[in-house]
Amino acid sequence: MSNKTAKLLSLLDGQPVIPVIKIADVKDAVPLARALARGGLPAIEITLRTDAALDSIRRVAAEVEEAVVGAGTILNARQFDEAAKAGSRFIVSPGLTREVIAAASGSDVPLLPGVITPGEIMAAAEAGLDFLKFFPAEQAGGAAFLKSLASPFGGIHFCPTGGIGANNAKDYLGLPNVICVGGSWVAPDEMVKAGDWAGIEALAREASKLRKK
């Protein structure tokens, strides 16, 4: 296990589900992060898919001490640097490129890069990355495909994301090479827009019980 993998695992601290959230209005960032943390999911990934994303990361990093905020949908070195400066404690990318690997190698912020194919996994391993995001999980073959990777890639572990919800998360968490899963079902857009923090806290509490077997 690499030092950065160990650091990333310490940040996630055994959390079975990493909320993958999209924030359209920065005012929702702090109450959303607090609701998820109260429900037992303090580590969250705020995706850079909206104009409010970086400001949301800044707010959560500054105001929600109990949260471990990360940035997702990082596509290049510039975004990596912006997210790290905003206070992200971990970075998640949907794929793996030399530019993103280089940005991560020069930073103390650990990277969770996305992969699908054996070739991408081997490229990640060559770069010293042994904890990877399997994305998009369901569309790329699901739990059965990921299970088939356990034997040839014994030292590699995954956080599958994409198409995962309360109905199938256990299928992934039961695999020996899966550490956690990522999903947006714990913070649905309509509940965020409605400010239903109690409802989101309840969803997070249920998700936090999905421990690995």
Q: Please list, residue by residue across 113-151, b when 16 or more beta carbons sit within 10 angstroms of its beta carbon and e when fewer do.
A: bbbbeeebbebbbebebbbbbbbbbbebebbeebbebee
pLDDT tens digits, residue range 114-151?
A: 999 999 999 999 999 999 999 999 999 999 999 999 99
User: Does the domain at residues 3-206 carry the CATH identifier 3.20.20.70?
Assistant: yes
Mean pLDDT is lowest, of 8-12, 54-58, 62-66, 177-181, for 8-12
> What is the average per-residue pLDDT within 87-109?
97
pLDDT exceeds 60 at position 100:
yes
Which is the catalytic residue, given 4, 7, 27, 45?
Answer: 45
58 vs 98: CA distance, rounded Å: 27
| Catalytic annotation, pick one of 4, 22, 133, 201 | 133
Residue 45 has pLDDT above 60, yes or no: yes
Mean pLDDT of 4-20: 93
45 catalytic residue (yes or no): yes
Q: What pLDDT does residue 213 have?
A: 52
Active site residue 133: yes
